[in-house]
Amino acid sequence: MIFSYSSTLWQSVAFSEEDALTQTVITSVTNIGLGFAYGFYATAAVLSLLFVLTFVPETKGKELEDM
C-alpha cells in the first residue's frame, strides 16, 4: 500500500517537472537566446548531480534493514 502511494507521488512530481521544463524552454530560447537557455539547463543539471553525489547515501550492497 505504501509503495503505491509513493509511486503515485513520484509520478506526480516527475510530470510536474516535465511540464514546467516544457513550458519554459520555448520562452527561454525566445527571450534570452539558445546559448543562455542551454547554459541555464546545463548548470541546473550539474548542480543536481552535485547534490545527489553529496547528500544521497550509497545503498549498494546494504540490506533494507540496515538503511
CA-based nearest residue to 42, from 15, 27, 50, 18? 50
Distance of alpha carbon 21 from the chain centroid:
10
* CA 44/CA 28 separation, integer angstroms: 14
At 3-59, the pLDDT tens digits run 566 677 778 888 888 888 888 888 888 898 989 988 988 998 999 899 988 988 877
C-alpha cell at 5: 502511494
Decide: 52 and 60 in contact? Cβ < 8 Å.
Answer: no
Query: Whole-model pTM?
Result: 0.58
Q: Which residues contact 57 (CB under 8 A, 6 or more apart)?
A: 67
